[in-house]
Amino acid sequence: MSDKVMVKVEHVSMKFNLSSEKFDSFKEYVIKSLKNQVSFEEFWALRDVSFEVMQGDALGLIGLNGSGKSTMLKTIAGVLKPTEGSVHVNGSVAPLIELGAGFDMDLTARENVFLNGALLGHSRREMEAFYDDIVSFSELENFMNVPVKNFSSGMVSRLAFSIATIGVPDILIVDEVLSVGDFRFQEKCERRIQAMADQGTTILFVSHSIAQVKKICDKIAWLESGQLKRFGAASDICKEYEQS
Amino acid sequence: MSAYIQNFIKFQPLLGELIARDIKIKYRRSVLGVLWTLLNPLCMMIVLSVVFSNIFKFDIENFPLYILSGQLIFNFFSDATTSSMSSIVSSASLIKKVYVPKYLFVISHIFSSFINLMASFTALLLVMTATRTELHWMTLLAPVPLLLLVLFSLGVGLVLAAVTVKFRDIMHLYSVFITALMYLTPVIYPMAMLPEWLTGFVMLNPITNIVLMFRNVMLYNTFFGWRSLFVAVVETGIMLMIGFWVFYKNQDNFILNL
């Protein structure tokens, strides 16, 4: 594959403030500051993580719950800004982080296609070109004029997946979303991701299913309590991860 | 800077979709649909006209129109700022998961309030024609105070949206504040009625200036004067700068507090 760096993560640290007693009102803030009780507990979700992803790579992020995988993906997607360090992303990003986040439940599926497309930065005209493809991939031909609030969760995620994966993005971010839908649709999603990878899309993949990671990824970043434990070829690290 | 502009152009379709969504959802499942945007203020204005031309009477010529024009301005300000205040908080689920320039949510709320303002303005013109009030050429200048008002509200909305993320109870405080502000604006009373010490306070309120400018061109066929215009432009400019500055400084922390 080519050696163009698509994602460059440099010394990224992410700090969250866990306020010991959560306050979100002005009144409480004033009272607590007068009493001198405003204190924060710091929590570092990521600490000094650096790696690079080349064009065409499929990078899997593995680790236990709370090891910082999702935080890592969110900093790459631009949702979170790292407290320290920097993330450089080269090209368009299609985030598949929690499907259906951008849906407005009162709007119909059809209207949501355009709304969600706009969230990903596509104009109405672009979305019209992809519209038939989205409908047929999600297999929701008969439901496009139904408000999304009447959809089952499987239908919502099918629609969301179809919208998020239109075209060929430079980078695709997949966070735990393949666990939705029936297994036939899961296979369909995997095939689509594979097809994108074949066309040169860089893939960042998070899953707890080590089998899926093995199938899709060729490189792996293993995170443990916010630190990068291992980074390298998939086959070696998978073995090590399974044994640990 | 150019990066910001590029980003704005990329997400411009989103702005359109967000505004369309606001309007669509508001009037979904009603027979008359979007026509309500116009009918609603029109009905309100008819009720107010009837009430104020028969029950309450100040010594003001054409009192119903006096009130309607004041209400038009103040209701927009109150609507636009209140809805943009909660814009970030109510889009929390989205902001946590997808990257979107966050000021778009505030702008989209200001914009949908602006569409309502246009509808109210049309309704006001209809009422004026129905009551056979003369329409003057000066009316063509009405967009000037309205535009300044929209930009001023945007500035206020940006500050409120940013602060509300951190302190949710600002929403309740603000509804008290906006009621107080309404009585500090000459919406239902004439300026001449005020005791002298209070006049200063009422004039300090930026909305007062805009209401007076609007009435001058709509009702009295007089130019609002360069001085008023200058004051309004300066106030709007300062408010916009404060708004964008506060918002920009805080926007990376929104997600930590949502």
Residues of A in contact with B100 (CB under 8 A): 119
CA A86 to chain centre: 18
Q: Are B53 and B63 in contact (CB under 8 A)?
A: yes
Task: State how many domains chain A has.
Answer: 1
Q: What's residue A179's pLDDT?
A: 64
Alpha-carbon gap: A236 to the closest alpha carbon of chain B (Å): 32
B170 — contact with chain A (CB < 8 Å)?
Answer: yes
Q: Are B154 and B109 in contact (CB under 8 A)?
A: no
pLDDT tens track of chain B, all 258 residues? 677 888 888 888 888 888 888 877 777 766 676 777 788 888 888 888 788 777 776 677 788 888 889 989 999 999 999 999 999 988 888 888 888 888 999 999 999 899 889 988 988 888 888 887 778 888 889 999 999 999 999 999 999 999 998 888 888 899 999 999 998 999 888 888 888 888 888 888 999 999 999 999 988 888 888 999 999 999 999 999 999 999 999 888 888 777
Residue B144, number of CB atoms within 10 A of its CB: 17
**Chain A residues 116-145 with a CB less than 8 Å from chain B:** 117-124
The one-letter code for the residue type at A2 is S
Which of B25, B93, B169 is opposite residue A27, by nearest beta carbon?
B169
A114 — contact with chain B (CB < 8 Å)?
Answer: yes
Rounded CA separation B168/B165 (Å): 6
Rounded to 5°, angle at Cα A44 from A242 and A234: 25
Half-sphere exposure of B167 toward its Cβ, with a 13 Å CA cutoff?
15
Alpha-carbon gap: B167 to the closest alpha carbon of chain A (Å): 4
Rounded CA separation A58/A56 (Å): 7
Q: What's residue A155's pLDDT?
A: 85
Closest residue of chain B to A106, computed from CA coordinates: B25
- Which residue in A79, A130, A177 has the most chain B C-beta atoms within 10 A of its own C-beta, making it the best mutation to test that interface? A79
Q: Are A97 and B97 within 8 A, CB to CB?
A: yes
Considering the domain boundaries, does residue B107 fall inside one? yes
Q: What's residue A178's pLDDT?
A: 66
Return the CA Rg of chain A.
20
Considering the domain boundaries, does residue B9 fall inside one? no
**Chain B residues 82-121 with a CB less than 8 Å from chain A:** 93-100
Closest residue of chain B to A30, computed from CA coordinates: B167
pLDDT tens track of chain A, all 244 residues? 457 788 888 888 888 877 655 566 777 777 777 777 666 677 888 888 888 888 888 888 888 888 888 888 888 888 888 888 888 888 888 887 777 777 888 888 888 898 888 888 888 888 899 999 899 888 888 898 888 889 888 888 888 888 888 877 888 888 876 666 677 888 888 888 888 888 888 888 888 778 878 888 888 888 888 888 888 887 788 778 777 7
Q: Are A79 and B99 within 8 A, CB to CB?
A: yes
Residue A73, number of CB atoms within 10 A of its CB: 22
Residue B5, number of CB atoms within 10 A of its CB: 9
Q: What's residue B179's pLDDT?
A: 93
Instruction: Name the token pair of B152.
Output: 């001023």
Rounded CA separation A28/B69 (Å): 40
Considering the domain boundaries, does residue B110 fall inside one? yes
Q: Are A203 and A172 in contact (CB under 8 A)?
A: yes
Q: What's residue A72's pLDDT?
A: 87
Instruction: Name the token pair of B240.
Output: 């916009």
Considering the domain boundaries, does residue B96 fall inside one? yes
Can you give the CATH number for the domain in which A50 is found?
Answer: 3.40.50.300
Q: What's residue A2's pLDDT?
A: 59
Structural domain that includes position A27 = 5-243
Residues of A in contact with B10 (CB under 8 A): 121
Considering the domain boundaries, does residue B86 fall inside one? yes
Considering the domain boundaries, does residue B2 fall inside one? no
Alpha-carbon gap: B6 to the closest alpha carbon of chain A (Å): 12
Rounded CA separation B33/B29 (Å): 7
Alpha-carbon gap: B86 to the closest alpha carbon of chain A (Å): 14
Considering the domain boundaries, does residue B13 fall inside one? no
At residue B224, what are phi and psi to the nearest 5 degrees? -75, -10
Considering the domain boundaries, does residue B17 fall inside one? no
Query: Which pairs from B183-191 meet CB under 8 Å and 24+ separation?
Result: B184/B208, B185/B70, B185/B74, B185/B211, B186/B70, B186/B211, B186/B212, B187/B67, B187/B70, B187/B71, B187/B73, B187/B74, B187/B211, B188/B67, B188/B70, B189/B58, B190/B58, B190/B59, B190/B60, B190/B66
Structural domain that includes position B220 = 36-257
Q: Which among B234, B89, B219 is positioned nearest to B163, based on CA atoms?
A: B89
Residue A204, number of CB atoms within 10 A of its CB: 27
Task: State how many domains chain B has.
Answer: 1
Instruction: Name the token pair of A177.
Output: 């979303």
Q: Are A180 and A157 in contact (CB under 8 A)?
A: yes
Closest residue of chain A to B24, computed from CA coordinates: A107
